[in-house]
Amino acid sequence: MTDSADDDPLKSLEIDRNQYDRKRMADALEGLVAIDNETGDPIVLDSFQELDSRRQISALLLAKRAAHALGHVEESEVGMKSSEIAERTNVAGSTVRRYASDKLSFISNDNGIDGYYIPETGIRQAVDFITEVKDQ
């Protein structure tokens, strides 16, 4: 066997996890939510309305996480209050609170982060949840 790293078949398995996660996040949000390049605010696109309420909530919060990854918002700004989410989704605030608190395990609530948010550890689960419908 040679010592050359180029000849190592395992090299094909290596990826940059950060780039992989960013690509998955972008793919999940594509066509649903854009990000204002000045404020980092999520901008809902036409296909967003085709999502069910739980996925709309998830997509908005994932877009806030993406805005943070792009450097548009601070970590303390990745959340949204239930009233903000309700306004953008046309889902009642009480429904937003119920889904975000009970039904979507990857969403957390913290008043220091403006309310409901997806922690870094929940990004993959949120991406999977949103893409589940997009892939059908």
Q: Please say whether the beta carbons of 85 and 63 come within 8 A.
A: no
- pLDDT tens digits along 22-63: 899 999 999 999 999 999 999 999 999 999 999 999 999 999
Query: pLDDT-based confidence at 2, cuts 50/70/90?
Result: very low
Question: Would you say how long the chain is, in residues?
Answer: 136
What pLDDT, in 10s, does the model give residues 76-131? 999 999 999 999 998 899 999 999 888 899 999 987 777 999 998 899 999 999 99
pLDDT single digits (tens) 9-26:
888 877 776 676 889 999
Give residue 124's pLDDT.
92
